[in-house]
A and B are shown apart, each in its own frame.
Chain A
Amino acid sequence: MKLVYFAWVRERIGRGSETIDKPDSVVTVADLLAWLAERGEGYAAALVRPEVIRVAIDHEHVEHDTPLPDDCEVALFPPMTGG
């Protein structure tokens, strides 16, 4: 599974993208956020308030209760400030 990060999520985690092997226990987007937060200081800092993190799967916005497809690109980012 490919993960991509943007803005302060990217800065705190310290990288723009990575590929992970998703454990079977990770079923939904919320599970993924909780699992990632345990991976180190940067991740914990980026995901300290998971409710503010916006998520997209394969370029489409999704809610945190969305199940993760097996092979996809998941993007994590702060609320957007476009326009």
Chain B
Amino acid sequence: MAITPRISVQEQDFDTAAEIERISDGRKDIGAVVTFSGKCRDEQGTLVALELEHYPGMAEAEIGRIAAEAAERWELLGLTVIHRYGKIPVGENIVLVVAASKSRAASFEAANFLMDYLKSRAPFWKKEHRVDGQDGGWVEAKQSDEDALAVWQKQS
């Protein structure tokens, strides 16, 4: 039976080490834990922060659907997805995926799958806050992110 993923859409930061601990706490069947952290990066000294707008309700539901699909496709023993919203300064965390399994292939692949889908299917939109105080506008979706999904769809 597939596991029930832990999903959180939240404003506050997360503690990656604590999330690894939470997923593997007291368990002896887990042999691999893969984490992915997505962070707010600067663009050549121009960016102060990203503002992440989200669709409350649908964000949780859509991440839940993506996580449930990952849990169907790979033999996972635990899965956590945390996605932040609000104003996130450069250098801070935006997203965390923690995948646990018996051996590493399932965790690596599931984490990769999760991130590809979160990029283009989870209802979040990034707006740039620039150093010069000007409105940097909305970050545009990349065709390469959409293309990444096609690869997973071919495999299914």
User: Chain A interface (Cβ within 8 Å of chain B)?
Assistant: 4, 6-8, 56, 59-61, 75, 77-83
Q: How many residues of B contact A (CB 8 A)?
A: 26
Please tell me if the beta carbons of A83 and B55 are within 8 angstroms of each other in the complex: no
Beta-carbon contact of B124 and A81 below 8 Å: yes
Task: Report the Cα distance A11→B44, complex, angstroms.
Answer: 27
Closest Cβ–Cβ distance, residue A52 to chain B (whole Å):
9
Question: If A6-B53, A6-B123 touch, does A80 touch B58 (CB 8 Å cutoff)?
Answer: no
A38 vs B66: C-alpha distance when bound (angstroms)? 36
When A and B form their complex, what is the total count of cross-chain residue pairs whose Cβ atoms lie within 8 Å? 71
Does B106 sit within 8 A of A, measured CB to CB? no
Interface: B22 (CB within 8 A): no
User: What is the bound-complex CA distance between A7 and B138, given in angstroms?
Assistant: 8
In the bound assembly, the distance between CA atoms of A4 and B59 in angstroms comes to: 14
Looking at chain B's contact residues, is the secondary structure mostly helix, strand, loop, or mixed? mixed
CB distance from A77 to the nearest CB of B (A): 7
Report if B14 contacts A (CB, 8 A). Answer: no
Residue in chain A with minimal CB distance to B97: A83
Chain A CB count within 10 A is highest, among B62, B94, B123, for B123
Q: Quick check: A81 and B125 within 8 Å, CB to CB? A: yes
B53 close to A7 (CB less than 8 A): yes
B33: CB under 8 A from chain A? no
Taking the closest CB of chain B, its distance from the CB of A14, in whole angstroms, is 15
- 22 residue pairs from A and B, CB less than 8 Å apart: A7-B53, A7-B125, A59-B61, A61-B62, A75-B55, A77-B55, A77-B123, A79-B120, A79-B141, A79-B146, A80-B141, A81-B119, A81-B124, A81-B139, A81-B140, A81-B141, A82-B121, A82-B125, A83-B115, A83-B118, A83-B119, A83-B122
